Amino acid sequence: MAKATKAPKYVYLFGNKKADGDGSMKPLLGGKGANLAEMARIGLPVPPGFTITTE
């Protein structure tokens, strides 16, 4: 049986005090996407949304 490979992640979600990304991911998420994710992670009121990576 062939081993399944994990597909790269292109969409990162944020909001509701949770985020898939963080502020250190600026090269991948862009400045705005990384900052929105970081603000959601620290509990600031950020509307739910998503960021598509730069890849």
- Residues 1-46 pLDDT 10s: 667 788 889 999 999 999 999 999 999 999 999 999 999 999 999 9
The answer, yes or no, to whether residue 50 has pLDDT greater than 70, is yes
| pTM of this prediction exceeds 0.85 | no
- Give the Cα separation of 37 and 22 in Å (integer): 5
Contact assessment for residue 22 and residue 33, using Cβ atoms and an 8 Å cutoff? no
pLDDT given at position 1: 64
Q: Domain boundaries in the chain?
A: 11-52
| Runs of H (alpha helix) within the chain | 26-41
pLDDT given at position 16: 92
pLDDT given at position 6: 87
